[in-house]
Chains A and B, each alone.
Chain A
């Protein structure tokens, strides 16, 4: 079986599972959790394109998420614009910001890039908090309208589930395609050795800015969907801690794996539900996970899973008389 065929089968199974799961769930609590897993998957995939593929860290990605959410919230509540139009504006604005800031910021490497993106995130967070007249400040912005499609209004968990997951599935598919193309290879090449990639003709500077832009754009779409789903937003959701949480999702799931991003998002969405007893102390768990995963399982959980599957498949293959 070729690699492409296997990818198509895996994606089809994943899509099917996502589409039928709601029929097996009782109660809106689980659906609600799945909606958040969807939004977080979008964000983790977006960050993974930058962090996992291109190898460029961002500790400020919550800013793009927040920008998407606030642009949607403000334009719908104060100017009565249509949520879909606003989603496009949010994505374009966030992408533009990333494109402009991308050129100077992505010249930086390693810790310098981490510090600069962290600084960017904090500046945005301060703006969300302090432009009270526009954003409502620390007390938040409420009354954001739900998404709609003609007469269909996405005001319940079931509708939101399908809205968010269909968009998430599309973004996942596009990201998988991208990762297996010349662009995906060029990004991984930059990650492995930027010098060698450049010598091979990869314009690392432009490509890093492009993927940063795409990543910010997807994050803003997630932010917009979040705003229209929750109908209420406040700066607390878009701070430094959430940026770290996003990095943790990508690392736990697996750098450079789209399904890994889903896995990481799912774990970090569900984990706090179990860690309720710990209240806000889940941050300790994130810190530990970042260290332990990076030291001992740099491929992330998805890599561990893959190895188990390959091992099992290898055994079956051998029993049936190996081909090739």
Chain B
């Protein structure tokens, strides 16, 4: 393979991973802006998406589309239960307690997944086969196209939702000032619940579309979650363009670093970037004067 085609492959896989990181990052931002909590269990929703899809396809022999829809639904229900059992009772809890409880919840979800599905890594069938497409001399897996298409749809849908829908606007109001929002009649508790529903749905969908490329297992949530977190930190805790750019940047650096430097340190690249951003610019790379928080 010549150099430019190889470079193209790295860029392609970097961008598609990056799109996934951005979607996972959205989940962090939406919950953080509604509650002030960084949901440590965000990565577990990503894992659940992939695992449930596999479960419905392989064990219940459902066709792919219904399996995906069911997987998103079930993951979202887990998100709702999580909000009810672990987050809602936490009002006024100490910050350290909140951190520990979300960590506990993430371990618990991961442990139950291991109990139910075992420790093996599973392949998930690609949405439209795994015969590569040849475009201008380069090969593209059809799944890459799915990832880009779905990611773009979610990013646009997310923007429309928060900019134009009543619920989206109400959630933004809560993010700016929960007290003021409740004074004008917005039910803040419901908005928090909505934030968990949207986050777990987007997170699980991200897990579903990446699973055919990377395979899935009970413990993929840690790494994917942390990389999504890295994306949203670069993006300054927004579910907007900053996080998309953050995810793509991370995906590209990771992919190029793995390709040209060392494949075995691929994961370390993401965490070094994460630490550097947290140390040097914890407010994100693209912070403008008046930032959009939702």
Contacts and interface: CB of A to CB of B under 8 A. Distances in A.
- The answer to whether A and B touch directly, with their CB atoms under 8 angstroms apart, is yes
Interface of A: 51, 55, 57, 59, 104-105, 107-112, 114-116, 118-120, 122-123, 126-127, 129-130, 191, 240, 244, 247, 251, 280-281, 283-291, 294-295, 298
Contacts of A114: 38, 40, 99, 103
B101 A115 contact: no
Given A244-B107, A291-B86, 10 more contacts: A59-B103, A111-B102, A112-B38, A114-B40, A119-B271, A283-B111, A285-B111, A286-B104, A290-B103, A290-B107
Contacts of A244: 103, 107
B38 A294 contact: no
A275 B107 CA distance: 17
B69 interface: no
A127 B262 CA distance: 12
B110 interface: yes
B96 interface: yes
Given A119-B274, A295-B101, A286 B107 contact: yes
A111 B37 contact: yes
A290 B110 CA distance: 14
B108 A287 contact: yes
Interface string B159-178: 00000000000000000000
A287 B107 contact: yes
Give the top 10 A-B pairs by smallest Cβ distance, nearest first. A290-B104, A287-B108, A284-B111, A111-B38, A287-B107, A104-B279, A119-B271, A291-B104, A283-B111, A126-B268
Contacts of B267: 122, 126
A51 B103 CA distance: 14
A112 B110 contact: no
A105 B226 contact: no
Nearest to B107: A287
Contact of B114 (A51, A111, A130, A281): A281
A281 B115 CA distance: 7
Interface residues of B, number: 41
A86 B119 CA distance: 38
A239 to B, nearest CB: 10
Nearest to A137: B264
Given A110-B38, A114-B40, A116-B278, A283 B107 contact: yes
26 contacts: A57-B100, A59-B103, A104-B275, A109-B95, A110-B99, A111-B37, A116-B275, A119-B271, A122-B268, A123-B268, A244-B103, A280-B114, A281-B115, A283-B110, A283-B111, A283-B114, A284-B112, A286-B107, A287-B104, A287-B106, A287-B107, A287-B108, A288-B104, A289-B104, A290-B104, A295-B89
B96 A110 contact: yes
A284 B108 contact: yes
A57 B271 contact: no
Nearest to A282: B111
Contacts of B40: 111, 114
B8 interface: no
B103 A288 contact: no
B107 A57 contact: no
B272 interface: yes
A175 B111 CA distance: 34
- Give the residue among A122, A127, A240 with the most B Cβ atoms within 10 A: A122
Interface in B107-148: 107-112, 114-115, 119
A112 B282 contact: yes
Interface in B15-41: 37-38, 40
Contacts of A126: 264-265, 267-268
Nearest to A57: B99
A130 B262 CA distance: 10
Contacts of A284: 107-108, 111-112, 114-115
A107 B268 CA distance: 22
Nearest to B96: A55
A65 B273 CA distance: 24
A165 to B, nearest CB: 29
A291 B101 contact: yes
Contacts of B265: 126, 130
B229 interface: yes
Contacts of A294: 97, 100-101, 104
B278 A115 contact: yes
A272 to B, nearest CB: 14
A130 B226 contact: no
B255 to A, nearest CB: 17
B226 A251 contact: no
A251 B95 CA distance: 15
A109 B119 CA distance: 33
Contacts of B264: 126, 129-130
B271 to A, nearest CB: 4
A157 B157 CA distance: 63
B108 A291 contact: yes
B215 to A, nearest CB: 19
A110 B119 contact: no
A123 B96 CA distance: 24
B234 interface: no
B142 to A, nearest CB: 32
Contacts of B274: 115-116, 119
Contacts of A112: 38, 278, 282
B93 to A, nearest CB: 8
Given A120-B275, A283-B110, A111 B99 contact: yes
- Give the residue among A59, A105, A123, A288 with the most B Cβ atoms within 10 A: A123
Nearest to A241: B107
